[in-house]
Amino acid sequence: MSNSKQYSLDIDNEKQTIQGVFIPDKTMFQQIRGAVQATHLDGWEPSSDDIKKLKADAMNPDPKELARLKAIWEQRNE
């Protein structure tokens, strides 16, 4: 989403924050950072609420979504 304000992607590797949201697990921070940076290049402008949702989803993944993704990867590897 594009806002009328100037947008800036704020990532602080030392503090492990993205858009001001602290991600305590270093591996999780790196994974979320990579996904955010890749989609940011495609035009996504994540807010702190978006990052909070990504963090919550990473900390408590939906079992149905995990099963769906596993099935996709298994099909690709056949």
Put simply, whether the predicted model's pTM sits higher than 0.95 gets the answer no
CA angle, 27 then 74 then 57, to 5°: 35
Does 58 score more than 70 pLDDT?
A: yes
pLDDT at 77: 74
Does 76 score more than 90 pLDDT?
A: no
The pLDDT tens digits of the residues spanning 18-45 come to 999 999 999 999 999 999 999 999 999 9
Alpha helices in the chain (DSSP H): 26-41, 48-59, 63-76
pLDDT at 28: 96
